[in-house]
Protein backbone atom coordinates (compact mmCIF):
# COMPACT_ATOMS: atom_id res chain seq x y z
CA UNK A 1 0.00 0.00 0.00
CA UNK A 2 1.32 3.46 -0.87
CA UNK A 3 1.63 6.07 1.83
CA UNK A 4 -1.08 8.76 1.75
CA UNK A 5 0.26 12.29 1.35
CA UNK A 6 0.16 13.26 5.02
CA UNK A 7 2.95 15.47 6.34
CA UNK A 8 4.00 14.17 9.73
CA UNK A 9 5.51 15.99 12.68
CA UNK A 10 6.72 14.62 15.99
CA UNK A 11 7.85 15.65 19.45
CA UNK A 12 11.34 14.14 19.39
CA UNK A 13 13.71 13.29 22.20
CA UNK A 14 17.04 13.47 20.40
CA UNK A 15 19.20 11.85 23.08
CA UNK A 16 18.91 10.02 26.38
CA UNK A 17 17.44 12.31 29.08
CA UNK A 18 16.98 15.04 26.49
CA UNK A 19 14.10 17.52 26.33
CA UNK A 20 11.42 17.58 23.65
CA UNK A 21 12.21 19.09 20.25
CA UNK A 22 9.40 19.34 17.70
CA UNK A 23 10.36 18.55 14.12
CA UNK A 24 9.40 16.71 10.94
CA UNK A 25 9.07 12.92 10.95
CA UNK A 26 8.51 10.26 8.33
CA UNK A 27 4.90 9.25 7.94
CA UNK A 28 4.70 5.53 8.83
CA UNK A 29 4.18 3.26 5.81
CA UNK A 30 1.46 0.70 6.53
CA UNK A 31 2.34 -2.84 5.50
CA UNK A 32 0.08 -5.92 5.25
CA UNK A 33 -2.63 -5.78 7.93
CA UNK A 34 -1.65 -2.26 8.98
CA UNK A 35 -3.46 1.08 8.82
CA UNK A 36 -2.41 4.69 9.00
CA UNK A 37 -4.07 6.81 11.67
CA UNK A 38 -4.02 10.48 12.37
CA UNK A 39 -3.00 9.93 15.96
CA UNK A 40 -5.41 9.68 18.74
CA UNK A 41 -4.86 6.03 19.37
CA UNK A 42 -2.14 3.52 18.53
CA UNK A 43 -1.52 -0.17 19.14
CA UNK A 44 0.51 -3.31 18.70
CA UNK A 45 2.20 -6.23 17.09
CA UNK A 46 3.12 -6.46 13.43
CA UNK A 47 2.17 -9.93 12.23
CA UNK A 48 -0.22 -11.15 9.51
CA UNK A 49 -2.99 -11.62 12.08
CA UNK A 50 -2.32 -8.60 14.28
CA UNK A 51 -3.75 -5.81 12.18
CA UNK A 52 -2.31 -2.35 12.65
CA UNK A 53 -4.02 1.00 12.46
CA UNK A 54 -2.49 4.42 11.88
CA UNK A 55 -4.34 7.52 13.05
CA UNK A 56 -4.14 11.27 13.38
CA UNK A 57 -3.37 12.35 16.91
CA UNK A 58 -6.08 14.45 18.46
CA UNK A 59 -5.59 13.54 22.12
CA UNK A 60 -2.57 12.08 23.91
CA UNK A 61 -2.66 10.67 27.44
CA UNK A 62 0.53 10.91 29.50
CA UNK A 63 1.65 8.47 32.17
CA UNK A 64 4.39 8.44 34.80
CA UNK A 65 6.32 5.89 32.69
CA UNK A 66 6.67 8.44 29.88
CA UNK A 67 8.24 11.02 32.19
CA UNK A 68 10.42 8.52 34.07
CA UNK A 69 11.83 7.18 30.81
CA UNK A 70 12.75 10.68 29.76
CA UNK A 71 14.39 11.42 33.11
CA UNK A 72 16.16 8.11 33.75
CA UNK A 73 16.25 6.10 30.47
CA UNK A 74 16.07 2.81 32.39
CA UNK A 75 14.87 0.89 29.30
CA UNK A 76 18.09 1.88 27.45
CA UNK A 77 16.01 3.03 24.47
CA UNK A 78 17.58 3.95 21.11
CA UNK A 79 17.65 7.63 20.14
CA UNK A 80 16.40 9.86 18.58
CA UNK A 81 13.03 8.70 19.90
CA UNK A 82 9.33 9.40 19.69
CA UNK A 83 7.75 8.51 23.03
CA UNK A 84 4.14 7.96 24.02
CA UNK A 85 1.87 4.93 24.25
CA UNK A 86 -1.68 6.26 24.74
CA UNK A 87 -3.66 8.02 22.06
CA UNK A 88 -7.05 9.01 20.74
CA UNK A 89 -7.60 9.91 17.09
CA UNK A 90 -9.15 9.31 13.68
CA UNK A 91 -8.46 6.50 11.21
CA UNK A 92 -7.18 7.90 7.92
CA UNK A 93 -6.16 4.70 6.11
CA UNK A 94 -7.09 1.04 6.58
CA UNK A 95 -4.88 -1.87 5.56
CA UNK A 96 -5.95 -5.24 4.11
CA UNK A 97 -7.89 -7.48 6.49
CA UNK A 98 -9.19 -4.74 8.81
CA UNK A 99 -12.95 -5.08 8.77
CA UNK A 100 -14.24 -3.63 12.04
CA UNK A 101 -12.66 -0.18 11.55
CA UNK A 102 -12.90 2.23 8.63
CA UNK A 103 -11.63 5.63 7.59
CA UNK A 104 -13.00 8.44 9.79
CA UNK A 105 -13.70 6.12 12.74
CA UNK A 106 -12.67 7.56 16.10
CA UNK A 107 -10.66 5.27 18.38
CA UNK A 108 -8.64 5.20 21.59
CA UNK A 109 -5.79 2.77 22.21
CA UNK A 110 -2.54 1.87 23.87
CA UNK A 111 0.61 1.17 21.85
CA UNK A 112 3.76 -1.01 22.15
CA UNK A 113 6.17 1.87 21.59
CA UNK A 114 8.55 1.05 24.42
CA UNK A 115 8.32 -2.73 24.42
CA UNK A 116 9.05 -2.98 20.70
CA UNK A 117 11.32 0.05 20.48
CA UNK A 118 9.42 0.97 17.33
CA UNK A 119 8.72 4.68 17.19
CA UNK A 120 6.21 4.36 14.38
CA UNK A 121 3.89 3.55 17.29
CA UNK A 122 5.00 6.57 19.33
CA UNK A 123 2.00 8.73 20.10
CA UNK A 124 3.87 12.03 20.41
CA UNK A 125 3.39 12.62 16.69
CA UNK A 126 0.62 13.50 14.27
CA UNK A 127 0.41 10.11 12.53
CA UNK A 128 1.17 6.74 14.10
CA UNK A 129 0.62 3.03 13.61
CA UNK A 130 -2.02 1.16 15.58
CA UNK A 131 -2.92 -2.53 15.71
CA UNK A 132 -6.62 -2.60 14.94
CA UNK A 133 -7.32 -5.55 17.24
CA UNK A 134 -6.27 -3.49 20.25
CA UNK A 135 -8.11 -0.33 19.24
CA UNK A 136 -11.41 0.63 20.84
CA UNK A 137 -13.96 2.34 18.62
CA UNK A 138 -15.53 5.48 20.07
CA UNK A 139 -18.98 6.11 18.60
CA UNK A 140 -19.66 9.38 20.38
CA UNK A 141 -22.87 8.05 21.95
CA UNK A 142 -21.16 7.67 25.32
CA UNK A 143 -17.85 9.19 26.28
CA UNK A 144 -15.96 11.40 23.83
CA UNK A 145 -12.45 10.53 22.67
CA UNK A 146 -11.10 13.14 25.06
CA UNK A 147 -12.92 11.47 27.97
CA UNK A 148 -12.06 7.91 26.89
CA UNK A 149 -8.39 8.31 25.95
CA UNK A 150 -7.24 7.51 29.49
CA UNK A 151 -9.03 4.14 29.54
CA UNK A 152 -7.05 1.69 27.34
CA UNK A 153 -3.51 1.80 28.74
CA UNK A 154 -4.13 1.76 32.49
CA UNK A 155 -7.35 -0.20 32.04
CA UNK A 156 -5.34 -2.86 30.23
CA UNK A 157 -2.82 -3.04 33.10
CA UNK A 158 -5.64 -3.49 35.63
CA UNK A 159 -7.55 -6.01 33.52
CA UNK A 160 -4.52 -8.18 32.74
CA UNK A 161 -3.32 -8.09 36.36
CA UNK A 162 -6.72 -9.27 37.58
CA UNK A 163 -8.30 -11.10 34.65
CA UNK A 164 -5.23 -12.93 33.32
CA UNK A 165 -2.49 -13.07 35.97
CA UNK A 166 -4.97 -13.49 38.86
CA UNK A 167 -7.57 -15.41 36.81
CA UNK A 168 -10.54 -13.38 38.01
CA UNK A 169 -13.58 -14.11 35.83
CA UNK A 170 -15.01 -11.62 33.41
CA UNK A 171 -17.87 -9.54 34.69
CA UNK A 172 -20.90 -11.70 35.68
CA UNK A 173 -24.10 -11.60 33.69
CA UNK A 174 -26.32 -12.26 36.70
CA UNK A 175 -26.27 -11.66 40.44
CA UNK A 176 -26.03 -15.41 40.92
CA UNK A 177 -22.54 -15.33 39.42
CA UNK A 178 -21.21 -13.02 42.11
CA UNK A 179 -18.71 -14.42 44.59
CA UNK A 180 -18.27 -14.03 48.33
CA UNK A 181 -14.51 -13.55 47.92
CA UNK A 182 -12.76 -10.26 48.53
CA UNK A 183 -10.11 -8.40 46.52
CA UNK A 184 -7.78 -5.74 47.94
CA UNK A 185 -6.77 -2.87 45.65
CA UNK A 186 -4.07 -0.75 47.23
CA UNK A 187 -4.03 2.71 45.67
CA UNK A 188 -7.51 3.26 44.26
CA UNK A 189 -6.60 6.89 43.62
CA UNK A 190 -4.05 5.87 40.98
CA UNK A 191 -4.91 5.37 37.32
CA UNK A 192 -4.47 1.60 37.48
CA UNK A 193 -6.26 1.44 40.82
CA UNK A 194 -9.25 3.30 39.40
CA UNK A 195 -9.78 0.63 36.74
CA UNK A 196 -8.78 -2.28 38.98
CA UNK A 197 -11.54 -1.47 41.48
CA UNK A 198 -14.07 -1.42 38.65
CA UNK A 199 -12.83 -4.65 37.05
CA UNK A 200 -12.93 -6.58 40.32
CA UNK A 201 -16.30 -5.18 41.38
CA UNK A 202 -17.86 -5.86 37.99
CA UNK A 203 -16.44 -9.39 38.13
CA UNK A 204 -18.58 -9.94 41.22
CA UNK A 205 -16.02 -9.54 43.99
CA UNK A 206 -16.25 -7.53 47.19
CA UNK A 207 -13.59 -4.83 46.84
CA UNK A 208 -11.66 -3.27 49.69
CA UNK A 209 -9.53 -0.33 48.57
CA UNK A 210 -7.04 2.08 50.05
CA UNK A 211 -7.14 5.78 49.17
CA UNK A 212 -6.65 9.20 50.70
CA UNK A 213 -9.92 9.51 52.56
CA UNK A 214 -8.97 13.02 53.71
CA UNK A 215 -9.10 14.24 50.10
CA UNK A 216 -12.53 15.82 49.60
CA UNK A 217 -14.84 13.52 47.67
CA UNK A 218 -12.29 10.72 47.29
CA UNK A 219 -14.11 8.16 49.47
CA UNK A 220 -17.33 8.69 47.53
CA UNK A 221 -15.45 8.49 44.22
CA UNK A 222 -13.83 5.15 45.09
CA UNK A 223 -17.13 3.72 46.34
CA UNK A 224 -18.77 4.83 43.09
CA UNK A 225 -16.16 2.73 41.29
CA UNK A 226 -17.43 -0.32 43.18
CA UNK A 227 -15.42 -0.51 46.42
CA UNK A 228 -17.38 -1.60 49.48
CA UNK A 229 -14.82 -0.37 52.02
CA UNK A 230 -12.27 2.44 51.64
CA UNK A 231 -9.32 2.57 54.05
CA UNK A 232 -7.08 5.61 54.51
CA UNK A 233 -3.55 4.58 53.56
CA UNK A 234 -2.15 7.70 55.23
CA UNK A 235 -2.62 6.19 58.66
CA UNK A 236 0.36 4.53 60.33
CA UNK A 237 1.25 1.11 58.87
CA UNK A 238 -0.07 -0.56 62.02
CA UNK A 239 -3.38 1.29 61.77
CA UNK A 240 -3.79 0.48 58.08
CA UNK A 241 -3.12 -3.20 58.65
CA UNK A 242 -5.54 -3.26 61.58
CA UNK A 243 -8.23 -1.64 59.42
CA UNK A 244 -7.72 -4.08 56.53
CA UNK A 245 -7.40 -7.26 58.60
CA UNK A 246 -11.14 -7.77 59.35
CA UNK A 247 -11.88 -8.20 55.62
CA UNK A 248 -9.21 -10.89 55.08
CA UNK A 249 -8.52 -13.35 53.61
CA UNK A 250 -8.14 -11.70 50.22
CA UNK A 251 -8.46 -13.73 47.04
CA UNK A 252 -6.22 -11.22 45.24
CA UNK A 253 -4.05 -8.35 46.43
CA UNK A 254 -3.04 -5.76 43.82
CA UNK A 255 -0.65 -3.00 44.80
CA UNK A 256 -1.25 -0.42 42.07
CA UNK A 257 1.19 2.02 43.67
CA UNK A 258 4.12 -0.31 44.41
CA UNK A 259 6.31 1.81 46.64
CA UNK A 260 8.23 0.52 49.69
CA UNK A 261 5.60 1.80 52.15
CA UNK A 262 2.67 0.14 50.39
CA UNK A 263 4.51 -3.16 49.95
CA UNK A 264 5.63 -3.21 53.57
CA UNK A 265 2.06 -2.70 54.79
CA UNK A 266 0.62 -5.33 52.45
CA UNK A 267 3.36 -7.74 53.50
CA UNK A 268 2.49 -7.30 57.19
CA UNK A 269 -1.18 -7.77 56.38
CA UNK A 270 -0.61 -11.07 54.56
CA UNK A 271 1.71 -12.43 57.26
CA UNK A 272 -0.91 -11.66 59.92
CA UNK A 273 -4.02 -12.86 58.07
CA UNK A 274 -2.91 -15.55 55.63
CA UNK A 275 -1.60 -18.65 57.44
CA UNK A 276 -1.05 -20.49 54.15
CA UNK A 277 2.30 -19.11 52.98
CA UNK A 278 1.66 -20.36 49.42
CA UNK A 279 -1.14 -17.79 49.16
CA UNK A 280 0.87 -14.79 50.32
CA UNK A 281 1.04 -13.21 46.88
CA UNK A 282 1.02 -9.55 45.84
CA UNK A 283 0.49 -8.41 42.26
CA UNK A 284 2.73 -5.38 41.81
CA UNK A 285 3.71 -2.83 39.18
CA UNK A 286 7.45 -2.59 38.70
CA UNK A 287 10.45 -2.18 41.06
CA UNK A 288 12.42 -4.94 42.78
CA UNK A 289 9.73 -5.31 45.39
CA UNK A 290 10.91 -8.61 46.88
CA UNK A 291 13.57 -6.75 48.88
CA UNK A 292 11.03 -4.90 51.04
CA UNK A 293 8.61 -7.64 52.01
CA UNK A 294 8.66 -10.58 54.39
CA UNK A 295 10.51 -13.56 52.83
CA UNK A 296 7.29 -15.60 52.97
CA UNK A 297 5.47 -13.08 50.75
CA UNK A 298 5.87 -13.42 46.99
CA UNK A 299 5.69 -10.30 44.86
CA UNK A 300 4.90 -10.80 41.20
CA UNK A 301 5.43 -7.99 38.71
CA UNK A 302 4.63 -8.59 35.04
CA UNK A 303 4.64 -6.13 32.10
CA UNK A 304 0.87 -6.44 31.82
CA UNK A 305 0.44 -4.11 28.83
CA UNK A 306 3.05 -6.11 26.92
CA UNK A 307 0.88 -9.21 27.35
CA UNK A 308 -1.92 -7.47 25.46
CA UNK A 309 0.22 -7.45 22.32
CA UNK A 310 0.75 -11.23 22.47
CA UNK A 311 -2.32 -12.11 20.45
CA UNK A 312 -1.28 -15.74 19.99
CA UNK A 313 -1.60 -16.29 23.74
CA UNK A 314 -4.03 -13.61 24.87
CA UNK A 315 -5.97 -12.66 21.74
CA UNK A 316 -9.29 -13.76 23.20
CA UNK A 317 -8.83 -11.55 26.26
CA UNK A 318 -7.70 -8.62 24.10
CA UNK A 319 -10.91 -9.01 22.09
CA UNK A 320 -12.91 -9.08 25.31
CA UNK A 321 -11.37 -5.79 26.38
CA UNK A 322 -11.47 -3.90 23.08
CA UNK A 323 -14.87 -5.13 21.90
CA UNK A 324 -16.66 -5.71 25.20
CA UNK A 325 -15.41 -4.28 28.50
CA UNK A 326 -13.80 -1.12 27.10
CA UNK A 327 -16.19 -0.67 24.18
CA UNK A 328 -19.35 -1.10 26.25
CA UNK A 329 -17.86 0.82 29.15
CA UNK A 330 -17.19 3.80 26.88
CA UNK A 331 -20.48 3.49 24.97
CA UNK A 332 -22.71 2.95 28.02
CA UNK A 333 -20.54 4.84 30.53
CA UNK A 334 -20.39 1.72 32.70
CA UNK A 335 -16.67 2.39 33.18
CA UNK A 336 -15.78 5.57 35.04
CA UNK A 337 -12.59 7.06 33.55
CA UNK A 338 -10.11 8.81 35.74
CA UNK A 339 -10.75 12.51 35.26
CA UNK A 340 -7.78 14.02 33.42
CA UNK A 341 -6.07 17.35 33.72
CA UNK A 342 -6.32 18.73 30.18
CA UNK A 343 -3.70 20.83 28.42
CA UNK A 344 -4.56 22.34 25.04
CA UNK A 345 -2.15 23.16 22.23
CA UNK A 346 0.19 21.55 19.73
CA UNK A 347 3.09 19.12 20.00
CA UNK A 348 5.12 21.96 21.51
CA UNK A 349 3.09 21.34 24.67
CA UNK A 350 4.36 17.75 25.06
CA UNK A 351 7.26 18.70 27.33
CA UNK A 352 4.94 20.75 29.52
CA UNK A 353 2.69 17.71 29.87
CA UNK A 354 5.62 15.41 30.72
CA UNK A 355 6.75 17.82 33.43
CA UNK A 356 3.21 18.08 34.76
CA UNK A 357 2.71 14.30 35.11
CA UNK A 358 4.85 14.04 38.23
CA UNK A 359 3.18 17.06 39.83
CA UNK A 360 -0.49 16.08 39.68
CA UNK A 361 -1.74 13.91 42.54
CA UNK A 362 -4.61 11.93 41.05
CA UNK A 363 -5.57 13.10 37.58
CA UNK A 364 -3.89 11.90 34.43
CA UNK A 365 -2.59 14.50 32.01
CA UNK A 366 -4.13 14.66 28.54
CA UNK A 367 -2.98 16.89 25.67
CA UNK A 368 -5.86 18.02 23.49
CA UNK A 369 -4.26 18.82 20.14
CA UNK A 370 -5.62 22.03 18.68
CA UNK A 371 -3.21 22.39 15.75
The confidence score (pLDDT) of residue 11 equals: 97
Summarize pLDDT for 285-313 with one digit per residue, the tens. Answer: 876 666 778 899 998 888 888 999 999 99
For residues 23-44, average pLDDT: 66
pLDDT range class, residue 55, cuts 50, 70, 90 = low
CA angle 46–23–66, rounded 5-degree value: 55
pLDDT of residue 359: 83
Which residues are CB-neighbours of 206 under 8 A, at least 6 positions away? 180, 181, 182, 183, 228, 247
Which of 260-265's residues contact partners 24+ apart within 8 Å by CB, and which partners? 260/292, 261/237, 262/186, 262/187, 262/210, 262/233, 263/289, 263/292, 263/293, 263/299, 264/237, 264/292, 264/293, 265/186, 265/233, 265/237, 265/240, 265/241
Mean pLDDT over 72-96 rounds to 89
* pLDDT average, residue stretch 337-364: 87
- Is the pLDDT assigned to residue 357 strictly greater than 90? no
The answer to whether residue 76 scores a pLDDT higher than 60 is yes
Tell me: pLDDT of 255 over 80: yes
In angstroms, the CA 121 to CA 315 distance is 19
Return the pLDDT at 362: 62
Residue 48 above 50 pLDDT? no
What tens digit of pLDDT does each residue of 308-347 get? 999 999 999 999 999 999 999 999 999 999 888 889 889 9
Mean predicted lDDT score pLDDT of the chain: 87
Residue 41's pLDDT is 30
Which carries the bigger pLDDT value, residue 283 or residue 229? 229
Given this model, what pLDDT does residue 179 score?
A: 80
For residues 145 and 178, the model is more confident at 145
Most confident of 66-75, 162-171, 242-251, 273-282: 242-251
Q: What is the pLDDT of residues 186-210, one digit of tens each?
A: 999 999 999 999 999 999 999 999 9
Following DSSP, what letter does each residue of 126-153 receive, concatenated?
Answer: SEEEEEGGG-EEE-SSSS-HHHHTTHHH
Between 301 and 31, name the one with better pLDDT: 301
Q: Is the pLDDT of residue 360 over 60?
A: yes
Secondary structure E strands in 228-319? 229-232, 252-255, 281-284, 298-301
When pLDDT is averaged across residues 232-254 and rounded to a whole number, the result is 96
Instruction: Answer with the residue of higher pLDDT: 365 or 1.
Output: 365
| Predicted structure pTM score | 0.90
Amino acid sequence: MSTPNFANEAAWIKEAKGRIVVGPADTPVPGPGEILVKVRVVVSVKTPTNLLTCMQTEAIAFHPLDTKLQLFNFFDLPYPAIFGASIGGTVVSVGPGVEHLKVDDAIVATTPTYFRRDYRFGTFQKYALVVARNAVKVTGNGYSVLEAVTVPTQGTVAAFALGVASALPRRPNTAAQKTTETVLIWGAGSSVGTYAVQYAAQAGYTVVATASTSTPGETDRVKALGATHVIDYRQSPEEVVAALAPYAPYAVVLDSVTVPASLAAVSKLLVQTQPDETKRLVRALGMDAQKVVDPSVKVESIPYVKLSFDHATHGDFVDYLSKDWFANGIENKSIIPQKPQIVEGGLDKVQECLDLVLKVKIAQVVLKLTN
